[in-house]
Chain A
Amino acid sequence: MEFVTFEQVSLAYEEGGPLAIRDISLSVKKNEFIAVVGPSGCGKSTLMKLVSGLSEPTSGYVYMNGRQISGPQKCIGMAFQASNLLPWRTTLENVMLPLEIVQPYRSQMRKQRKEFEEMARALIARVGLAGWENKYPWELSGGMQQRASICRALIHKPELLMLDEPFGALDAFTREELWCMLQDLWQEQPFTVVLVTHDLREAVFLADTVYVMSKGPGEILVKREIDIPRPRTLEDTYTEHFASQVHVLRDHIGAIRKH
């Protein structure tokens, strides 16, 4: 079942200005994990804005659940390279933020605060932050902040999780740890994921389908299914098969650069 569909979508931020993306057509199935890779400035973030309804396409159509997207969508979780946690809230309060905004949680907040708090605590523990609920963001390391940020993106059980280079600022070891964490979360309770990244290994490790984009205006060059069985482990990243997948993608990007 198609969940998100792009039909010949182009977008220029200014009228008559250069296109940020051109003629993008793709479709994401329900609970599919897709990754979009490409050089910087290829309009990956634009793609995210279109899906979430924060931008409107100049031409073409974006559908979600068969309906055309107009205006900001509800029930999307987002996480970025910067964790964007609110410094005046503790980890727990930060994670609870979406529940104060999204319906139906919002109107039940007063009555069911206890249950919601338990829900948040469980999720926080699930990503390995148990014991840090009452700490402030500046007391957490970069990796922990990112874990909290992902909790915040998932607490309201969104159908779609959008990740814009969420692990870009982390060291290699922490990054790989978080890959596994994200995969576990996704396998336990599936949701649709759009992951935007520079990191080909990350894309191959996590995604069912990888899209390679070209630079300005962004176009989709290649769509590639990753057939490595799940759950994938870090061991898998050292296999011949994994390396060849990364290599093929790398070749496409290399080809882009030569033009």
Chain B
Amino acid sequence: MAFNRRKFMIRNASWMLMIVLLLIWEILCIGLNVPEYLFPAPTAVWSAGIERWEPILMHAWQTFFTTLVGFALAVGVGVVLGVAVGTYPIVYKALYPLLVGFNSIPKVAFVPVLVVWFGIGTVPAILTAFLISFFPILVNVATGLATLEPELEDVLRSLGASKLDILRKVGLPRALPYFFASLKVAITLAFVGSVISETVASNKGIGYLMMAASSSMDMALVFAGLIVIGVMGVVMYELFAWMEKRFTRWANRGSNSVAI
């Protein structure tokens, strides 16, 4: 019995921690009598969310949409550049410093430029999501390709395989686990990008909703927005984690037994 209880605890640990944290939050807010315009209790956030579900849903959809479009762009560009960087040393040498430099720029600093070019709204949000999330995909795909065992390459080359053959038969399948691992990171970053852009320059999306709500001291709505972003992030993350497990089972064997 004791063993089963332990299993039960491990399986539901994330839910239980969340409930405990919400309880502490609620008790602190009520016990210390924190005013709602500073730090609303979970119940207040909940009722604000229920009350204004319609605008929240509309803005959440906008954020979700821009994030996914930006993310899709990032996957496309990340994979193509990653394959180029991972396959051709010259592309690596030429491109890498530039990419690292670009990745060091805080993307929020880039949003005003995008606004000048494309106006406020959806396009800068999509582009910010793209800019912030393509780098990890590129790096991981390139790493997966570049760490190919030289013996394996010799085996294939001694069969007369072309560079494309090696890429198709070995390089890409081998890079797949790296790719899926990067998708999990990239999707969360994409949410960060789109929301940043929306808070700076948009009249749609959860970011905009939160900015508007905080300027009218509607903290319950701000928190509701935060939670919606968090939930969307977790759902997408889990989706890609599931895909990773499904398509690259060979790379994380053994973890199935740990996952109970």
A-side residues, CB < 8 A to B, are 49, 52-54, 72-78, 80, 82, 84, 86-88, 97-98, 100-103, 136, 138, 152-153, 156, 162
Contacts and interface: CB of A to CB of B under 8 A. Distances in A.
Interface of A is mostly: loop
A136 B158 contact: no
A72 B158 contact: yes
A164 to B, nearest CB: 8
B251 interface: yes
A75 B161 CA distance: 11
Interface of B is mostly: helix
A98 B151 contact: no
Contacts, number: 64
6 contacts: A52-B157, A78-B158, A87-B250, A100-B169, A101-B165, A136-B250
A97 B211 CA distance: 57
Interface of B: 149, 151-152, 154-161, 165, 169-170, 173-174, 176, 248, 250-251, 253
Residue among B149, B152, B170, B250 having the largest count of chain A Cβ atoms under 10 Å: B250
Contact of B160 (A75, A86, A88, A97): A75
A54 B154 CA distance: 8
Contact of B169 (A75, A97, A156): A97
Contacts of B253: 136, 138
A76 B173 contact: no
A162 B170 CA distance: 21
Nearest 10 A-B pairs (CB), nearest first?
A74-B160, A52-B158, A76-B158, A88-B250, A87-B250, A101-B159, A80-B151, A72-B157, A101-B161, A84-B152
Nearest to B170: A86
Contacts of A82: 149, 151
B78 to A, nearest CB: 21
A84 B156 CA distance: 11
Given A73-B160, A88-B176, A101-B159, 17 more contacts: A52-B154, A52-B157, A72-B157, A74-B159, A78-B158, A80-B151, A80-B154, A82-B151, A84-B155, A86-B170, A86-B174, A88-B174, A88-B248, A100-B169, A101-B165, A152-B155, A153-B155
A72 B158 CA distance: 6
B151 A76 contact: no
A102 B160 contact: yes
Residue among A100, A101, A103 having the largest count of chain B Cβ atoms under 10 Å: A101
Contacts of A136: 250, 253
Contacts of B248: 88
Residue among B151, B159, B160, B170 having the largest count of chain A Cβ atoms under 10 Å: B159
Given A72-B160, A73-B160, A138-B253, A78 B169 contact: no
A45 B174 CA distance: 25
Given A88-B250, A101-B160, A101-B165, A78 B173 contact: no
Given A136-B250, A138-B253, A86 B158 contact: no
B159 A98 contact: yes
Contacts of A78: 154-155, 158
A80 B236 CA distance: 42
A136 B248 CA distance: 13
B42 to A, nearest CB: 45
A152 B165 CA distance: 17
Contact of A84 (B151, B159, B169, B173): B151
